[in-house]
Amino acid sequence: MTESPNVGLRKFLAPEFVLGKGAWLLAPRYAENYGVRRPMLVTDSGLIASGWAGKMERALADVGMECVLFQDVTPNPKDHEVMEGARVYAERECDALVALGGGSVLDCAKGIGVVHANGGHILDYEGVDTIPRALPPLLCIPTTSGSSADVSQFAIISDTTRKVKIALVSKMLVPDVSLIDPTPATTMSPALTAETGIDALTHAVEAYVSNASSPVTDLFALESVRLARSSLGLAVREPHNMEARGQMCLASLDAGLAFSNAILGAVHSMAHSLGGSLDLPHGECNAILLGPVIAFNFPSAPQRYREVARAMGCVVDGQPDSRVLAALLDSIRLLRSQTGLTRNLADLGVTRADIPRLASMAMKDPCLLTNPRVPVQADIEAIYEAAL
């Protein structure tokens, strides 16, 4: 099997972003520039406990804004959480969204904006380019380094009836601005640092081998792989190392710019199925699935994966494909070990009886459309089996 050349038209979407220490403190200024008077601050209980949400509330109040707090967001944000947020947004007559948190918070805020601007139920907007009206102003302050929801045209929401994650993909979901600051990330636990960092790495790898990649997304994807490989372990071990935190912020940004435009692949389609069906942690699912998916995909994109291996620090030149693949898989296992992500799917409670349904849902996920190798359901089932 040979790789398809990435030719033809490509478009690239990205929001305005500010990167660096102190960036998050610019939120009130940006809100003022948008004419905001009553923003909804979307966050979660963890950010309230750590004090970051309170600091943001006070900063917005200091410039005369009446902040409406919405904190009812859980990991793998649920459809009913989005709908409740939209109800509060309308009831309190909010005029903008300030999202402070990780990917779940950011996606929930996007969902609230979709429903407020377009009406109906959030599940009505599943799919690509289904959102006709622009969202209210959306300011994102990511507090993790991995989801990249702050720069992407994606939102992932859990359909609690069907027990599946749905993807919304639209340029309407690209935030107005992202304020990317390593400071809030210093209060992440080592486990969350590892999970979100592996998510960034997976975004980058899948974007680089995607059949919708381009020379522009390639630049961001490979740089993200290099940054994650060199900085994630240090960020896990030394939470207050601002250099490592800053490098992981950049890795997440680069990965987000890549995958928002090149889309993803089988790892994410399978992780979405796990998250929607069993409410499992997204980043850890990615960590478990990345190696088996690479092993499956490698024959369809050997040159692409050779460059990923090079970015992961593997010896590539003069080596046969079989050794490059083995070295790449070893490098991923080593990074998982260094970051404490050593569990498999069985450790998370997945059983062989779950696999047919998980595979069936993964086959319907839009991320699978850009995977470099086209699988059938039996292939997806075999990858889940290998990850048990």
Q: How far apart are CA 270 and CA 362, in angstroms?
A: 5
Residue recorded with tokens 């207050």:
240
Rg for the chain, CA atoms, rounded: 20
- Structural domain includes residue 2: no
Amino acid 7: pLDDT = 56
Query: Does 163 share its domain with 193?
Result: no
**CA angle at residue 86 from 83 to 92, to 5 degrees?**
140
The runs of H, that is alpha helices, within the chain are: 27-33, 45-49, 52-62, 79-91, 103-118, 190-209, 215-237, 242-262, 266-278, 282-297, 302-311, 321-339, 355-363, 377-387
Q: How far apart are CA 285 and CA 274, in angstroms?
A: 7
Amino acid 9: pLDDT = 87
Among 282, 276, 279, 280, residue whose Cα is nearest residue 162: 276
Give, as one character, the DSSP assignment of residue 119: -
> Residue 118 corresponds to which tokens in the numbers above?
């377009």
Q: Is 134 exposed, middle or buried (0-12, 13-18, 19+ CB in 10 A)?
A: middle
**Which of 185, 212, 236 is a domain's end point?**
185
- Structural domain includes residue 193: yes
User: CATH number of the domain that 223 lies in?
Assistant: 1.20.1090.10
> Residue 239 corresponds to which tokens in the numbers above?
């939470």
Amino acid 276: pLDDT = 92
Q: How far apart are CA 227 and CA 257, in angstroms?
A: 15
Residue recorded with tokens 């039996």:
378
Strand partners for 99: 42, 140
> Residue 321 corresponds to which tokens in the numbers above?
């494909």
Instruction: For residue 40, give the 3-state DSSP assignment.
Output: strand
Other beta carbons less than 10 A from residue 328's beta carbon:
25
> Residue 96 corresponds to which tokens in the numbers above?
């903008």
Q: How far apart are CA 374 and CA 16, in angstroms?
A: 35
Give buried/exposed letters for 292-307 (b at 16+ CB in 10 A, else e): bbbbbbbebbbebbbb
Give, as one character, the DSSP assignment of residue 171: G
Query: Does 288 share its domain with 378?
Result: yes
Q: How far apart are CA 225 and CA 204, in angstroms?
A: 6
What is the chain's pLDDT, residue by residue, as a tens digit (388 residues)? 445 445 578 889 999 999 999 999 999 999 999 999 999 999 999 999 999 999 999 999 999 999 999 999 999 999 999 999 999 999 999 999 999 999 999 999 999 999 999 999 999 999 999 999 999 999 999 999 999 999 999 999 999 999 999 999 999 999 999 999 999 999 999 999 999 999 999 999 999 999 999 999 999 999 999 999 999 999 999 999 999 999 999 999 999 999 999 999 999 999 999 999 999 999 999 999 999 999 999 999 999 999 999 999 999 999 999 999 999 999 999 999 999 999 999 999 999 999 999 999 999 999 999 999 999 999 999 999 999 9
Query: Does 194 share its domain with 310?
Result: yes
Task: Indicate the pTM of the whole model.
Answer: 0.95
Query: Does 219 share its domain with 368?
Result: yes
- Structural domain includes residue 5: no
Query: Does 168 share its domain with 197?
Result: no
Q: How far apart are CA 229 and CA 308, in angstroms?
A: 11
- Structural domain includes residue 8: no
Q: How far apart are CA 224 and CA 373, in angstroms?
A: 23
Query: Does 176 share its domain with 252?
Result: no
Amino acid 2: pLDDT = 41
- Structural domain includes residue 96: yes
Backbone angles phi, psi at 16, to 5 degrees: -65, 140
Query: Does 161 share its domain with 265?
Result: no
Question: 172 is in which domain, residue-wise?
Answer: 16-185
Give, as one character, the DSSP assignment of residue 35: T
- Structural domain includes residue 1: no
- Structural domain includes residue 178: yes
Query: Does 127 share its domain with 256?
Result: no
Query: Does 301 share its domain with 328?
Result: yes
- Structural domain includes residue 180: yes
Query: Does 121 share its domain with 210?
Result: no
Query: Does 24 share its domain with 167?
Result: yes
Query: Does 199 share its domain with 137?
Result: no
User: CATH number of the domain that 129 lies in?
Assistant: 3.40.50.1970
**Which of 185, 206, 240 is a domain's end point?**
185
Residue recorded with tokens 């991923």:
332
Q: Is 200 exposed, middle or buried (0-12, 13-18, 19+ CB in 10 A)?
A: buried
**Which of 147, 170, 185 is a domain's end point?**
185
When divided into structural domains, the chain yields a total of 2
